[in-house]
Amino acid sequence: NDDNTAVKYINYLKEKRIGNATFLPLNKINVKYKLDDSVLNKKGVIDYALNLLNYDKKYENIFNLVFADTLIIEKIELAKSIGIGDYRMVTLDGDMAAKSGAMSGGFKSKKGGMGVFKDEQDSKKLESISKRLDTLNSSISHLREEKEDNERALYDDRQRKNELEGEVIKLEKLLSIEGKDTQSIDREIEAILSDKVVIENSLKKISRDIKEIDNDFAILQEEKSKLRQISATGSLMKDIANFEDSRDKLRNQFLAVSSKLDAKSIEIRSVLEPESINLSKILKDNELALENLKKSVSSLSETIKKHELELKDLKIREKELSKDYKQYIEKRDLLKEDRIKEEEKYEKEFAKFDKVKEKGAQLRYAIGEYETLSSTLNDEMKFLYQELRAEFIEKNADENEIILGESKINDLIVMVDEKLTKTQIDVKELQNKVNNLKTRMNGFGSINMKAVEIYDKLNEEFNKLLDKRQTLNVEKDEILSFIAEMDEKKKERFMETFIKLRDFFIDIFSKLSTKGEVELNVENEKDLFNSGVEIRVRLSKNNYLDIKSLSGGEKTITAVAFIFAVQE
């Protein structure tokens, strides 16, 4: 709302170290621009930004300050024909051309929506919420007023109660009712009545004295009038007049003194006595507070002693823990060594497992060969059996099997012997093959029937681990590529901003100083985020100087130019 609010929140941001913000006080900003409508007829000009925005009229000066005479155009290419440097122009894509001649733009992501601007539905919701807040604030203020009225009434009632209690206490003190019996009260009443009789008698005596004084005063008045009649113009009248004047002065002085005494007595009764009572109460309260402080000091001293003892115990415990910590470190080192040994053992066992796996594969291959060989032999045996059965055995009429003569069987045996005698068989070679096969079978050892199941489980777990490893490697490559891509984007964004900053810096420095040139360079372009920025100024024709070698005024001009460039 105003500059005081801005100062308040700036100090708040400093105290909390939250960040930095720009405030626009409504009571200090009074900016209005005269917009040139002739430029609206040019090609590519849409309208002034102020004409395209809907906003609350109370923020008119703020919008005039922010947008000023900014033109909204269709494309950045049309800015040249409209007049770069005459107007501040912004395209619908966000590209901008400033009055200074600087141009900025490029690719901008559209994920952010409309930024800080809001649509009509949000504004309507905001208005309804603000109206509701106003009604709630008015009801809250009304309730606060009622609360204050109730508190004041309660305070008045409490004061009235205290006054009544004070009057009751005064009456009790006057009547001395507290702690006395009825007989003492009767005696005091009789004493009061006797005092009353004495006072009444004294009052009667005083009234008689007053009457006598009045009679004497009347006699004196008569003598005075007679004396006035005797000598109306004599010296005696002058003496009497002087006497009366002095008497009146004394009477007035007496009245003044008596009034002062009455005022002082009233002041003493009304002011000093209550103050003395309050002071006595304050003294009593201070004495109680002093006693409480003494008690608290004693308790705090006891707690301090306890904390000191606890601190000593903690120091002793710290020493013990430091010893234990060293032991734990030694144990950790030993455990690391044991873990390394166990890993080596695991690798060895895993190598053995690979060997067992290879043997299992060989066994399964050999078993497969044996099974295929046995199946082929069984098929051949069955085939031969069927042929022999068809050739040598017939059935009679009673379905009984009859062997067809021994001559055919003998012929078959002779034929087999001829084949065996004709083919040369190396018995030793066959015996060696048989022995080799037996040694290989004995080398396999006793067959564990569960080895195949265990092998299948281990193989399945091994394949799962390989899949996980493959997925982790893929994810790792993706993350590393994403990090590299982000680093490249960061470098690109940084260099774009740095180039703009360098251009603004050179431009502003040339405007502030006419006797030199300035350069702004990155110390290491290959490692942007771990290097710094170097500012070099050339005051003469040949030599460039570092900012540390400049004078105080030159450093100030350079720093101010850099700050203005950062603000741009």
The answer to whether 104 and 96 are in contact (CB under 8 A) is: yes
Boundary (domain end) residue, out of 89, 116, 143: 116
The answer to whether 33 and 60 are in contact (CB under 8 A) is: no
Say how many C-beta atoms besides its own lie within 10 A of residue 562's C-beta.
20
Flag whether pLDDT at 42 surpasses 70: yes
Mean of the per-residue pLDDT values for the chain? 71
Q: Tell me the per-residue pLDDT of 146-179, one tens digit each, with 9 for 90 and over.
A: 667 766 766 776 676 677 667 666 655 655 544 4
Q: Please report whether residue 125 resides in a domain.
A: no
Query: C-alpha angle with apex 117: 112 to 118, nearest 5 degrees?
Result: 100
Amino acid making up residue 98: A
Flag whether pLDDT at 141 surpasses 70: no
Amino acid making up residue 341: K
Range of the domain at 81: 31-116
Residue 114 confidence (pLDDT) = 46
Residues in the chain: 568
- The domain spanning residue 80 has which CATH number? 3.30.70.1620
Flag whether pLDDT at 14 surpasses 80: yes
Give 113's pLDDT tier (boundaries 50, 70, 90).
Answer: very low
In the DSSP assignment, the letter for residue 77 is G
Residue 116 confidence (pLDDT) = 47
- The total number of structural domains in the chain stands at 2
Boundary (domain end) residue, out of 116, 147, 167: 116
Residue 95 confidence (pLDDT) = 85
Residue 178 confidence (pLDDT) = 44
Q: Please report whether residue 110 resides in a domain.
A: yes
Residue 187 confidence (pLDDT) = 63
Least confident of 75-84, 334-343, 370-379, 483-492: 370-379
* DSSP secondary structure of 226-276: HHHHH-SSSHHHHHHHHHHHHHHHHHHHHHHHHHHHHHHHHHIIIIIHHHH
What share of the chain has pLDDT > 90, as a percent?
A: 0
Least confident of 92-96, 175-179, 307-311, 556-560: 175-179
- The domain spanning residue 562 has which CATH number? 3.40.50.300
Q: Please report whether residue 88 resides in a domain.
A: yes
Q: Tell me the per-residue pLDDT of 225-281, one tens digit each, with 9 for 90 and over.
A: 655 555 444 454 555 566 666 666 766 766 666 666 666 666 556 655 666 676 667
Q: Tell me the per-residue pLDDT of 466-525, one tens digit each, with 9 for 90 and over.
A: 888 888 888 888 888 887 888 888 888 888 888 898 898 888 888 887 777 888 888 887
Pairing relationship of beta strands 401-403 and 533-538 according to DSSP bridges: unpaired
Boundary (domain end) residue, out of 94, 116, 138: 116
Name every residue whose Cβ is closer than 8 Å to that of residue 73 and which is 6 or more positions away in sequence.
44, 45, 46, 79, 82, 89, 90, 91
Q: Please report whether residue 510 resides in a domain.
A: yes
The answer to whether 42 and 81 are in contact (CB under 8 A) is: yes
